[in-house]
Structure 1
Amino acid sequence: MRTTARLLTGTALAAASLGSSLAAPTAAIAGDRGGLELYPSTAAPGATVTVNTTACGKDGHGRGDASSLGAGEFRLRPGDYKDFAVGRFHVPENTRAGTYGIFVRCENGRKARGDLTVEHHREHQPSGHVRTGVGGSVGPDTTQIAAGAVVLAAAAVGGTWLLRRRASGAQGS
């Protein structure tokens, strides 16, 4: 159930951020030729984000600005697909979760803007003791040691009493 909820929430957030990425450039900056597309549009710290835009025109160049999240500037160069200029930047490891505006200024004077959503993905780390049958991976448990000592002592006392009783019964016959 939780996995389904997370998947649906992540899908809704990705759709919302993609929608805002495509709508914001044309609404915010009139006269732009194209918007700014970010892949992925939702990233974790340490991820590489690819930026595409048609605003720079065919064989266009430009400079991107990801300083809002601490990544600084990056270059855009002509891409392999149609009229796209492409650039890349890394999301810094210390970036907090949130939505950040990414800007591009092309050599032809045009501008484009898109939003990047940063989310912290928690990895599930194993916790607790490993039951391998060969011993523990953590220090001794004093309660278990004490219980074991009591069991051994009781067995020794019981065994001694039983041996003496048999020995004294064998001599009396």
Structure 2
Amino acid sequence: MRRTPVPLLTRTAVAAVALGALGALAAPLAYANNGNDGHDGRPEALEIFPSSADPGSTVTVNTLACGSHGHGVGDANSLGAGDFQLDPSTHKEVVVGRFTVPHHARSGSYGISVACDNGRTARGELFVKHKGPSGHVQTGVGGSVGPDTAQVTAGAAVLAAAAVGGTWLLRRRASGAQGD
């Protein structure tokens, strides 16, 4: 029985797809936990929408750090927007607050933080950009804060299916060649 060798490039591609699927499955867990259980003094995640804003734009922040029916005080002093309040939202255990990016804010990255009434803190980054002919073209595409769990899960499922399908196809080709 003659065995057909599987090209190295094919084996490498199947291995890369499989590793990518495993990495994609681990990403939501790392993002959701952010390497922090909320009890070690390190800040928790602060989601900022939009993550990239022009001067004069209203920015919304939210976090789970303050707990159910919690409150907090946000700090946007790094970009000159001052303090702002966070109050419970319509989503369970999420607090939300808003501030306006000052017109005098320069382009760059700014740390935004929240101190909750339960003693926990949350931190995130806001990128300030400027409209105009110089700089990036405003296409309306982009501006994600973090991975979308549903999209990552769907992507991982597609990658896993591709890896299984590729392995099945290679085994089928190899077993079919044995009969010759």
Q: Which TM class, normalised by the smaller chain length? A: 0.5 to 0.7
Matched, 1:111 2:111: no
Looking at CA atoms only, which structure, 1 or 2, has the larger radius of gyration? 1
Partner of 2:105: 95
Any stretches of 5+ residues in structure 2 without a counterpart?
A: 1-30, 135-180
Map Cα deviations across residues 24-58 of structure 1 (whole Å, 9 max, x no partner).
Answer: 7949x945684100000000000000010000000
TM-score where L is the length of structure 2: 0.52
- Identity, % of aligned pairs? 52
Q: Distance in 2 between matches of 1:22 and 1:48?
A: 25
Deviation at 1:118, TM superposition (A): 0.3
Q: Distance in 1 between matches of 2:40 and 2:119?
A: 13
Q: Distance in 2 between matches of 1:64 and 1:87?
A: 7
Of the three residues 40, 49, 54, the one matched with 2:64 is: 54
Alignment size in residue pairs: 104
Q: Distance in 2 between matches of 1:23 and 1:44?
A: 30
Say what the alpha-carbon RMSD is for the aligned residues: 2.9
Matched, 1:40 2:89: no
Tell me: CA distance 1:24–1:118, structure 2 relative to 1, closer, same or farther (3 Å): farther
Tell me: CA distance 1:113–1:61, structure 2 relative to 1, closer, same or farther (3 Å): same
**Structure 1 runs, 4 residues or longer, greater than 3 Å off:** 21-27, 29-34
Map Cα deviations across residues 79-108 of structure 1 (whole Å, 9 max, x no partner).
Answer: 111210000000000100000000100000
Q: 8 Å contact 2:76–2:113 — kept in the other structure? A: yes
SS at structure 2 position matched to 1:99: strand
Any stretches of 5+ residues in structure 1 without a counterpart?
A: 1-20, 125-173
Alignment of 1:16-165 (within 5 A): 26=36, 30-31=40-41, 34-122=44-132
Q: 8 Å contact 2:36–2:44 — kept in the other structure? A: yes
